[in-house]
Structure 1
Amino acid sequence: MPYLELSADFRPYYEIHDATDPWTTPQTIVFVHGFTESTEAFRAWVPYLSRHYRVVTYDLRGFGRNAPVDSDFRYSTELYVDDLVRIINHLAGGPAHIVAFKSGGISTMRLAATRPDLVRSITLACPPMVAPGGDDWLPFMEENGLRAWARKTMPARLGRDVPPRAIDWWTDLMGATALSTARAYLKWVGTTEAGLDMPGIECPALVILTRLSAQTNAAAGQVPADTVRKGMPHAELLELDLDCYHPAASHPDICAPAMRDFLLRLDT
């Protein structure tokens, strides 16, 4: 399995998917996953994109095939941005399109606002513009474990129409995260407010949202579409009538083609 040797404390697992014509020079897409996810979260998106683009996925610190971090590890937006910069430099070799799921949008928005030289475009799927996470998440994890927490949150995350086997798969994926990593991550993510970076983002942007109840939106850290329109008036919005806050996972056959078409329009 490939690990990228970036530093003594950061050797991320990564994958490259490239089905483009070998005589072409494709642009690169870098995926950034969210809390308790990994490279596996993007598996349904890759086939839609890898024919036209070189697709890079990697596991964030503490997640997926990477080693867990200690409970007192100090995550920060700056640390995640620095990791992303190094991923882009080593695996893209120049500016890339960035796709972020959930809280992966926090570092992606900061990168776009502060390092526009490395970003061709951003796609934000259910991004948290204010601090995401329920107050009961960590206490529930401590008492019942990550897998029980993942299953409990699936109805709001994926909706009520996905098949039981899909619920089981996502529960297993997210429930595999170490409790120590979850503790450290939630201490950081609860202090974030990614929406403050919106005015500084000038690159092309696609934002995928769902129309939800105020209570579900609050848990996901999402804000109304009008707030996104005011903060990034140049962004394209795809607002879906779904009873979930993670359509990138529940409805990849809607979201991934929309993102691909968005990128192809940029090239015309």
Structure 2
Amino acid sequence: MTEGLSFTASDGLRIAYWVDDFTDPWTAPPTLVLLHSAMGNSRRFYSWIPGLARHFRVVRMDLRGHGASEVPKPDVPLSMERFVRDVEELMDTVGARQAHLVGNSAGGYLAQRLAITRPERVLGLAVIGSTPGLSPSALEWLPLIEKEGLTPFLARTIAMRFDVERTDPGMIRWFLQQTGENDPAYIARFIGYMATQEWSAELPRIKAPTLVIYPGGETVGSANSYDTMGERIPDVTMVEYPHMPHNIADMMADRCVTDILAFLTARFGYPKAMP
């Protein structure tokens, strides 16, 4: 009921993904694609799977260069078009002409871009802590990461991401372990590239019903970007988690799942209540 698989993208890179399907065997559930954050991997959704995979065929991908997916060679330029194409090719691989897309932080960038460029493939869109592009202020992290190392930098600045007083220290240690397993040079390239991307002017092109869950105390970029999303996405539901820093998908996983299910039920009529 959980399968670890991979496919070869059209440029030859191997992409890892997992299928979690705990739906009733006699049904044909819709597909829901989960896209993780920068420096993360699909294991970061471990606590999301029980609530979602009972109602959807959940497909979670390790973004290229992250987790179990292959790291692009240093001389291969990064492009948003390639990242988004990976998502579309994943959908083709699992036989999903359309899917609901749920993206956390940088994963939400890819979900937004697919909803903008290929709206016919996106049924519903939910993004968590994900603005229309990474703030250029993130470029200031790069020399610090190079000087200190990725894990020490994240440990020193952990309050940017977690409410330390109310978060299990074990979760923070696990987060640091997970991020530390990535290739630091690639992560620096990824952050540097994403900090050059911005598409707020294109938000009106998103046609799918959209849920934006955002931290009221956003610490990665400007919280004003969420106001822009509320103003420009045509069919949008905005949900604030007051006072929280960036990593609400980790700290408040159960609430995120509850809000996503409530949104999909209200807009699409499923998942149906279980007997």
* Pairwise same-fold verdict (TM > 0.5): yes
* Structure 2 equivalent of residue 77 of structure 1: 80
1:61 to 57, 64, 80: 64
The separation in 2 between residues aligned to 1:231 and 1:140, in whole angstroms, is 35
Q: Does residue 202 of structure 1 match 2:203?
A: no
Q: Any stretches of 5+ residues in structure 1 without a counterpart?
A: none
Q: Say if 1:130 and 1:223, in contact at 8 Å, map to a contact too.
A: no
Q: Does residue 175 of structure 1 match 2:176?
A: no
Give the letter aligned to residue 55 of structure 1: V
Structure 1 stretch displaced more, 40-49 or 18-27:
40-49
2:138 to 127, 134, 149: 134
TM-score, normalised by the number of residues in structure 2: 0.90
Q: 1:114 to 1:180 in 2, by over 3 A?
A: same
Q: Say if 1:18 and 1:50, in contact at 8 Å, map to a contact too.
A: yes
Structure 1 stretch displaced more, 155-164 or 70-79:
70-79
The separation in 2 between residues aligned to 1:124 and 1:257, in whole angstroms, is 14
The separation in 1 between residues aligned to 2:225 and 2:66, in whole angstroms, is 30
Q: Secondary structure at the match of 2:126?
A: strand
Q: 1:88 to 1:125 in 2, by over 3 A?
A: same
Q: Any stretches of 5+ residues in structure 2 without a counterpart?
A: 270-275
1:187 to 180, 189, 192: 192
Q: Say if 1:207 and 1:236, in contact at 8 Å, map to a contact too.
A: yes
Percent identity, aligned pairs only?
Answer: 28
Shift of 1:17: 0.4
* Structure 1 equivalent of residue 254 of structure 2: 253
Q: 1:101 to 1:194 in 2, by over 3 A?
A: farther
Q: 1:180 to 1:70 in 2, by over 3 A?
A: farther
The separation in 2 between residues aligned to 1:230 and 1:207, in whole angstroms, is 12
2:45 to 39, 42, 45: 42
2:113 to 105, 110, 119: 110
Structure 1 stretch displaced more, 173-182 or 7-16:
7-16
Give the letter aligned to residue 155 of structure 1: A
Q: Say if 2:133 and 2:194, in contact at 8 Å, map to a contact too.
A: no
Q: 1:140 to 1:30 in 2, by over 3 A?
A: same
Structure 1 stretch displaced more, 67-76 or 44-53:
67-76
The separation in 2 between residues aligned to 1:224 and 1:190, in whole angstroms, is 14
Shift of 1:95: 0.3
Shift of 1:8: 5.7
Shift of 1:193: 0.8
Give the letter aligned to residue 23 of structure 1: W
Q: Say if 1:154 and 1:171, in contact at 8 Å, map to a contact too.
A: no
Q: Secondary structure at the match of 1:128?
A: coil
Relative contact order: is structure 1 or structure 2 higher (C-alpha 8 Å, sep ≥ 6)?
1
Q: Secondary structure at the match of 2:139?
A: coil
What pairs with 1:130-169 in structure 2 (closer than 5 Å)?
130-132=133-135, 134-160=138-164, 161-169=166-174
Q: Say if 1:121 and 1:205, in contact at 8 Å, map to a contact too.
A: yes
Shift of 1:131: 2.7
1:1-27, Cα deviation, whole Å (9 max, x unpaired): 522133463211110000000000000
The separation in 1 between residues aligned to 2:37 and 2:196, in whole angstroms, is 16
Equivalenced residue count is 264
Q: Say if 1:146 and 1:177, in contact at 8 Å, map to a contact too.
A: no
Task: Report the RMSD for the aligned CA atoms in angstroms.
Answer: 1.8
TM-score, normalised by the number of residues in structure 1: 0.92
The separation in 2 between residues aligned to 1:124 and 1:228, in whole angstroms, is 11
Q: Secondary structure at the match of 2:86?
A: helix
Give the letter aligned to residue 135 of structure 1: L
